[in-house]
Structure 1
Amino acid sequence: MEYGSAVRSASAAVDEDLYTRGPDGGLVTQSTAASAIAEALERSDVRPGMRVLEIGTGSGFSGALLSELVGAAGEVVSVEVMADLGARAADLHRAQGRNNVVTVVGDGLLGAPGHGRFDRVVAWARPELLPEAWVAQAVPGAVLVLPVDVTERAKTGMMLRARVDGDGTPQGEAFFEGGYVELHAEVLDQWWVPPRGVDALVRHEGAAWWLSAGWASGDREAAERVLRKLAAEGARTPLLAEDEGPRGIAPYLYATRAEELCTVGAEGLGWGIGYADRQGAAVFTPGAGEVLHTGDGSALLRLRQWVADWREAGRPGHPDLVPVLSRVEGGRRVRARL
């Protein structure tokens, strides 16, 4: 993505390593790739003098970029659930003279109550819904850029750009690619198993394997059996071309196969999307066009058909999807349609 002069200037003014590297040179917990941050900030259209609510302080690097974008006349209020991360970022901002950043330790789902209203909301952790608190704390015309769940399945999220209209209602404008950890009120000490959406969990050779599928919560025994077979004897079959990949087809499946879709993950291996039933499972392996599958072959056949349908539709991706927001308790549920 091409970045405007404001984001490029902000990036040049901030020492990334100072924020994202610890004393041993390793990355600080919850560091986000600079390119992903830059894309989100570009889509946020942050301008001098604005007030920005940042959800997820992390290393403090993104907050430093926002500090540069809003300038001396603006303000950034950054919310972080992990007190040590929040304190570290606050110290770095202070040492760098970035006095327009306020760091708050608390539950990001609540936003920053008591800190006024905001022109922009930017989040680096994925809520299940677009939280009502974020919308309520945004002024009319505010832009919100955040990762959000787009199906009921674990790990099925995309980045959303939304705008708050004159009567305070958020309107979805566009999706784009991006993956972030789940937003949670509590500090979590592991991320291999998602904190929400998991319907079956087993261990194979000491590693945790999990499954998220619509039918699985009602038949956990069958789900665990399929998961164990996938872990122990799953075969691999190429299914996507080199220029396609799971990330390419994922938006299409989120929009058209949300009810049938499953996700499977394994400790140390990552996670992938696909199809599972009581007879077997077939899921794309992370970062490759291969499918890991087991069972009677029907799951792999179903996935082959989905790939064929996607290709016939012209291989639609994030830019081809329309956000659909519906009001539910606690916020707005976000779904995608072609």
Structure 2
Amino acid sequence: MPNMTLVAKIHVTGGQPTVEEVFTGGYIEATSSPKDNLDLPGRWVDWENRIPDPSWISVAWRGDDDHLHTGARTALDRLLKDAHTEPYAGAEIDLPSWRTFAATRGDHHLTMAGLSPDLWAIGHTTTMTAAVLQQDGTILADAPHSPSLTVLRDWLKQWEEAGRPAPATYTPALVRAGDGWDLRLSR
């Protein structure tokens, strides 16, 4: 997903990798021509709108969507048109902490969206429901009693109960996956 990159510093001794450090980070995708629009991530965008303002959505369930991205398009529309809004009751959002916590959930319905050029959001969507927390502390959902909003509120409660952990406080582990390794973070 865009902007969900975690960087792991790995040391290999005797063919055995060990994670030395984990931190948030990212990369800029190299392209054959200059990218003239930085309002949209370079990869993993499942649906985008250009008018009236740039907006986009990236869903972890893209493999379950159809080839026309109907589910992603519907989820984005639910967040943009007549969305239920409410303020987040917690303290100011620490985006690196929230982003890392949400990523470690490993939930199949994790979603990242850009609902305006400078305002990204992370939350839960399906083909039928949608709810995200924007980095300005506004929660948007398709309805006040949305199943995705219930999930998002539960994630936020768990994040607060965990003390809004910094990315560096997670315990990393490498798990063999085919010919390579998967990085897993736990608390």
CA contact 1:254–1:336 (8 Å) conserved in 2? no
2:42 to 172, 176, 195: 195
Q: Distance in 1 between matches of 2:92 and 2:56?
A: 28
Does the alignment pair 1:315 with 2:161?
Answer: no
Distance 1:182 1:234, change over 3 A: farther
Aligned to 1:233, what secondary structure does the other structure show?
Answer: coil
In the TM superposition, what are the counterparts of 1:1-338 in structure 2 within 5 Å?
153-167=1-15, 169-178=16-25, 180-184=26-30, 186-189=32-35, 190-205=37-52, 207-217=53-63, 218-219=65-66, 220-266=69-115, 268-286=117-135, 288-295=136-143, 297-326=146-175, 333-338=182-187
Aligned to 2:120, what secondary structure does the other structure show?
Answer: strand
Q: Distance in 1 between matches of 2:29 and 2:177?
A: 18
> 1:156, CA displacement in angstroms?
0.9
Q: Distance in 2 between matches of 1:335 and 1:262?
A: 19
CA contact 1:323–1:337 (8 Å) conserved in 2? yes
> 1:175, CA displacement in angstroms?
1.8
Distance 1:258 1:231, change over 3 A: same
Q: Write out per-residue CA displacement over residues 165-211 of structure 1, whole angstroms, 9 at most, x where no aligned residue.
A: 243x5422222244x34333544413322222222223441x23221
- Aligned positions, number: 182
Note the residue ranges of structure 1 that are not aligned, 5 or more in a row. 1-152
Q: Distance in 1 between matches of 2:180 and 2:39?
A: 27
Once superposed, which parts of structure 1, at least 4 consecutive aligned residues long, lie more than 4 Å away?
A: 326-333
Distance 1:267 1:315, change over 3 A: closer
Q: Distance in 1 between matches of 2:182 and 2:38?
A: 24
Aligned to 2:165, what secondary structure does the other structure show?
Answer: coil
Q: Write out per-residue CA displacement over residues 18-59 of structure 1, whole angstroms, 9 at most, x where no aligned residue.
A: xxxxxxxxxxxxxxxxxxxxxxxxxxxxxxxxxxxxxxxxxx
Provide the alpha-carbon RMSD of the alignment.
Answer: 2.9
CA contact 2:131–2:148 (8 Å) conserved in 1? yes
Between structure 1 and structure 2, the one with the greater Rg is: 1
Q: Distance in 1 between matches of 2:122 and 2:175?
A: 25
Distance 1:204 1:326, change over 3 A: farther
Distance 1:333 1:196, change over 3 A: farther
One-letter code of the match for 2:56? W
CA contact 1:245–1:289 (8 Å) conserved in 2? no
One-letter code of the match for 2:4? T
TM-score (norm 2): 0.77
TM-score (norm 1): 0.47
Aligned to 2:157, what secondary structure does the other structure show?
Answer: helix
Give % identity: 24
Q: Which has the higher contact order (CA 8 A, sep 6+)?
A: 2
Which one has a larger percent helix, Structure 1 or Structure 2?
Answer: 1
> 1:333, CA displacement in angstroms?
4.3
